[in-house]
Amino acid sequence: MLAEIKAAFASTRLMTLVGPGGVGKTRLALRAGADLQRTMRDGVWFIDLAGLEDPHLVAKAVISSLGVADQSGQWPTSLLVSHLASREALLVLDNCEHLLDAVAVLADVVLKEAAGVRLLATSRQPLGISGERVVQVPPLTLQGESIAEPGHGGAHSEAVALLEARATDAGVQLDDSDATRQRLLEICRRLDGMPLALELAAVRLRTIGLDQLLERLSDRFAVLTGGSRAALPRQQTLLATIDWSHDLLSGTEAALLRRLAVFPSDMGLDAVEAVATQTGIDRETVLELLSSLIEKSFVTRLGQTANARYKLHETMREYALIKLREAEEERASINAFVTFYADMCEVAEKAAQSPRLVEWLKRMDVEADNVRASLAHCLHGPDHAMGVSMVGSLLWYWTARATSEGAYWLDLYLESRDADCGNDAAMARALFARGFVSMVLGDVMSAVPVLDEAEAKARAGSDSPLLARILSVSAGIRVMSGQLEGARSQLREAKMLAQGFDDPGVDAMLALTEGFIALGEADVETVGRVYTEWAPRARDRGDLQTLSYLLSSYGFSLLQQDRAEQAGPLLQESLGIERRLENRDMILYVLDGLASHAAMVGRFQRSARLLGAAETLQAQTGIRLMPHMEPVLANARESIASSLGIPALKLETQAGKRMSTDEAIAFALDEKKPARIDTRVDAKVTPLSKRELEVAALIAEGMSNKEIGSRCFLSERTVETHVSNILNKLGINSRVEVAGWVARELSPN
């Protein structure tokens, strides 16, 4: 079937692998993507849609998987098309069936607007659009299953190979005999070669023998035969296998499995414990129960021990959800789920201006699908007020990672405010957040009415800290629309309000607004005073985001006054911070600032390349440049053109456009380009395979298993296996030691 898929892409740009749950569509798509990787200039990208429930966010999920920042005023579909228009890539859209219409619309747009892009989808039914080629995915093959010739039974059976492999993984020793092969083939026939069913059956072989397994399967099917004859045989097989395995769980194991159905995506141990304990399961038993469910193949463990996460296979989640509803426990479990993520968002908001910001941004990245599900549960239900509080508390995440999505959720809650239970304080914070997001998007018209309403609610509730923030952002909006006197008036009132309390967040907002007003007036003395006064406080508090804004504002102000030598170190420090925060709008601004700096000090080739890199990032994100940047950049381009000539400017700019964002940042920071590690097996004598060498090199770069899997197009479980093999072969115990080994043994002398 792999050969069929590869050949089909010569004449089609959209293929959908169709089949029921559990037949291995995802596995096949991953293998096909790996095989097609070398033919795609811009790579193969895997987008798992299983955890996404809102069809409006399909385009957002795709651009996030592609590493494109959602920090512009463009609709995500337009942003995606802009990003893909000139690329040759394969997008693998996995688990589309619950989002069929939205995926179909997106696929149709991409096929029409991005001629070099191909799509490989997996679904339980076709997308149903023009140009789609549908491939039915059968269960694993049972060919070669004749046992007439001793020693050859099942030699070429994919199903038997999987069953044997999973049995070995489970610690089951199978003897190499014709009788054993015959039994294995019979099990595979009974289970129709369905991978999920085979994996569950393999785990059972740790406690019962092959004959007992066959007997129990027969008993179960006898029951099914008298049941629903309308169900497809494969669905009967899968349901039977899961039922049989589920019946062997203890009462508390089954209870925990049911609770896990409320998670649409992977989950951490703390989330599992919270949902379990809030629904009557003892916290002390949760880890043991979870371990048992993993051992019995109901739950999959992802990642390393330090930050392990857990996930239900999509079919298993559907099964567990049925059991949850049968037990009438769904409402209580959802309440526990939403409460956990509401608390998490509140903690994340407090961490926004602390040394924990980087940690929490990464945490929110991982939890995005679960947070979305929580917001969706609250939107039209009794927990609407909790949802309003959540969506407002995510302000710093929206602005750093998902600005247009933030606007989407905030608008949904503001439009449904009649359902709110009178929580004016939470609503005022949500209105403020919407105004702030509008400012980041450069949308002055949208910002003014929501900030005015937020101000009225904050005054009515005598919420002075929030009112000071609102006035500060309103002042920034006035600067953007050229109303500098009005901006100064609002800032003065905000400062008066702030005198009565000690709030680091408010302090930071006031400082940034004062600097922003001065920057709009090209008042370098005031910007410098603000920086001198507030930067030490931000450093002491570990407030990286505020510090970076102060550094970049002062740096740009100095560029406006042709004081490039002083501006350079400030902008470089800001860029280093933004690399840690992965905040693409600020990375773009600072790259442009360093390009202007390079032109001012006579490094024209460097300036042109940085301008090219910034143009690529701007095209990817759709971010609008601030007005104060435009004259500085225009001067830089004019200087380069007059010094190098137009042809050289274009040539160097194109070289910059070919840089990745990481390469551009390293170049801008004057970091030496890392030596390329030679991963050829014959480069040096090593005990590692070619793939293990590649994984070791990526470990040395600091990548997580998830990042390595994305880079190499491998599942996290496969990466885990490679990492384990590397540690065993090298006789070491940690990833740090792997990095040291790579530095000693593989780096060029």
Q: Tens of pLDDT along 557-573? A: 999 889 999 999 999 99
pLDDT beyond 90 at 307: no
Choose the most confident range, by mean pLDDT, from 77-81, 158-162, 275-279, 421-425: 275-279
Of 443, 444, 469, 446, residue with least CA distance to 457: 469
Amino acid symbol at 255: A
Quote the CATH superfamily of domain 2-136. Answer: P-loop containing nucleotide triphosphate hydrolases (3.40.50.300)
Cα torsion 579, 583, 588, 589 to 10°: value is -100
CA distances from 220 to 47, 186, 211, 244, 326 (A): 37, 15, 14, 7, 21
Of 244, 408, 270, residue with least CA distance to 337: 270
Q: Assign a CATH topology to domain 690-745.
A: Arc Repressor Mutant, subunit A (1.10.10)
- CA-CA distance, 83 to 117, in Å (whole number)? 11
> Band of the pLDDT at 103, cuts 50, 70, 90?
very high
In the prediction, which pLDDT does 258 show? 96
- CA-CA distance, 612 to 620, in Å (whole number)? 13
Contact 407, 434 (CB under 8 A): yes
Question: What sign has the CA pseudo-torsion 557, 559, 565, 568?
Answer: positive
In the prediction, which pLDDT does 422 show? 56
Compute the average pLDDT of residues 417-444. Answer: 83
Contact 484, 490 (CB under 8 A): no
Contact 299, 310 (CB under 8 A): yes
Compute the average pLDDT of residues 454-479. Answer: 92
Instruction: Fill in the DSSP letter of residue 622.
Output: -
Q: Which range has the worst mean pLDDT, 220-229, 363-372, 448-457?
A: 220-229
Contact 200, 241 (CB under 8 A): yes
Position of tokens 């070398």? Answer: 38
- CA-CA distance, 101 to 98, in Å (whole number)? 9
Count of CB atoms situated within 10 Å of the CB of 711: 15
Residue 582 φ/ψ region, left for φ over 0, alpha for ψ in the -120 to 50 degree band, beta for the rest: left
Q: In what order do the strands lie in the sheet with 309-311?
A: 267-268, 309-311, 300-302
Count of CB atoms situated within 10 Å of the CB of 250: 10
pLDDT beyond 70 at 419: no
- What tokens appear for 446 in the block? 């949208």
- pLDDT (tens digit, 9 = 90+) per residue, 523-549? 999 999 999 999 998 998 888 989 999
- pLDDT (tens digit, 9 = 90+) per residue, 20-47? 777 778 888 888 888 888 888 888 999 9
- CA-CA distance, 202 to 194, in Å (whole number)? 12
- CA-CA distance, 41 to 468, in Å (whole number)? 51
**DSSP 3-state assignment of 267?**
strand
Choose the most confident range, by mean pLDDT, from 415-419, 611-615, 687-691: 611-615
Contact 150, 175 (CB under 8 A): no
In the prediction, which pLDDT does 196 show? 76
Contact 413, 426 (CB under 8 A): no
- CA-CA distance, 118 to 128, in Å (whole number)? 16
Between 621 and 592, the higher pLDDT residue: 592
Q: Assign a CATH topology to domain 251-328.
A: Arc Repressor Mutant, subunit A (1.10.10)
Q: Where are the beta strands (DSSP E) in 467-510?
A: none
- What tokens appear for 260 in the block? 């896990």
Compute the average pLDDT of residues 83-100. Answer: 91
Residue 314 φ/ψ region, left for φ over 0, alpha for ψ in the -120 to 50 degree band, beta for the rest: alpha
> Band of the pLDDT at 245, cuts 50, 70, 90?
confident
- CA-CA distance, 547 to 542, in Å (whole number)? 8
H/E element holding 580? helix 564-581
- CA-CA distance, 360 to 527, in Å (whole number)? 30
Between 615 and 305, the higher pLDDT residue: 615
H/E element holding 222? helix 210-225
Say how many CA atoms lie within 13 Å of 726 toward its Cβ.
Answer: 26
Residue 192 φ/ψ region, left for φ over 0, alpha for ψ in the -120 to 50 degree band, beta for the rest: left
pLDDT beyond 80 at 223: no
pLDDT beyond 60 at 305: no
Contact 94, 101 (CB under 8 A): no
In the prediction, which pLDDT does 230 show? 46
Choose the most confident range, by mean pLDDT, from 9-18, 327-336, 381-390, 666-675: 327-336
- pLDDT (tens digit, 9 = 90+) per residue, 355-403? 888 889 989 989 999 999 999 999 988 889 999 999 999 998 998 888 8
Beta bridge partners of 89: 117
- CA-CA distance, 477 to 394, in Å (whole number)? 21
In the prediction, which pLDDT does 591 show? 95
Q: Which range has the worst mean pLDDT, 49-53, 71-75, 174-178?
A: 71-75
Contact 190, 214 (CB under 8 A): yes
Residue 117 φ/ψ region, left for φ over 0, alpha for ψ in the -120 to 50 degree band, beta for the rest: beta
pLDDT beyond 70 at 673: no
Contact 511, 534 (CB under 8 A): yes
In the prediction, which pLDDT does 532 show? 93
Q: What percent of the chain has pLDDT over 70?
A: 88
> Band of the pLDDT at 738, cuts 50, 70, 90?
confident
Between 652 and 336, the higher pLDDT residue: 336
Contact 401, 409 (CB under 8 A): no
In the prediction, which pLDDT does 78 show? 86
DSSP string, 182-197: HHHHHHHHHTTT-HHH
Contact 128, 83 (CB under 8 A): no
Q: How many residues does the chain have?
A: 749
In the prediction, which pLDDT does 125 show? 85
pLDDT beyond 70 at 332: yes
> Band of the pLDDT at 471, cuts 50, 70, 90?
very high
**DSSP 3-state assignment of 444?**
helix
pLDDT beyond 50 at 681: no
- CA-CA distance, 519 to 484, in Å (whole number)? 11
Question: What sign has the CA pseudo-torsion 737, 741, 747, 749?
Answer: positive
In the prediction, which pLDDT does 401 show? 83
H/E element holding 460? helix 444-460
Burial class of 648 by CB neighbour count within 10 A (0 to 12, 13 to 18, 19+):
middle
In the prediction, which pLDDT does 237 show? 61
- CA-CA distance, 267 to 409, in Å (whole number)? 22
Three-state DSSP string of 275-289 = HHHCCCCCHHHHHHH
> Band of the pLDDT at 677, cuts 50, 70, 90?
very low
pLDDT beyond 90 at 686: no
Compute the average pLDDT of residues 628-637. Answer: 84
Say how many CA atoms lie within 13 Å of 734 toward its Cβ.
Answer: 5
pLDDT beyond 90 at 733: no
Compute the average pLDDT of residues 200-221. Answer: 78
Mean pLDDT of the chain: 84
- CA-CA distance, 472 to 217, in Å (whole number)? 69
Cα torsion 447, 452, 455, 456 to 10°: value is -150
Give me Rg for the CA atoms of the chain: 29
In the prediction, which pLDDT does 24 show? 79
pLDDT beyond 70 at 213: yes
Beta bridge partners of 47: 93
Question: What sign has the CA pseudo-torsion 274, 279, 284, 287?
Answer: negative
Amino acid symbol at 109: V
Burial class of 745 by CB neighbour count within 10 A (0 to 12, 13 to 18, 19+):
middle
**DSSP 3-state assignment of 735?**
helix
> Band of the pLDDT at 154, cuts 50, 70, 90?
very low
In the prediction, which pLDDT does 224 show? 33
- pLDDT (tens digit, 9 = 90+) per residue, 482-533? 898 999 999 999 999 888 777 877 888 898 999 999 988 889 999 999 999 9
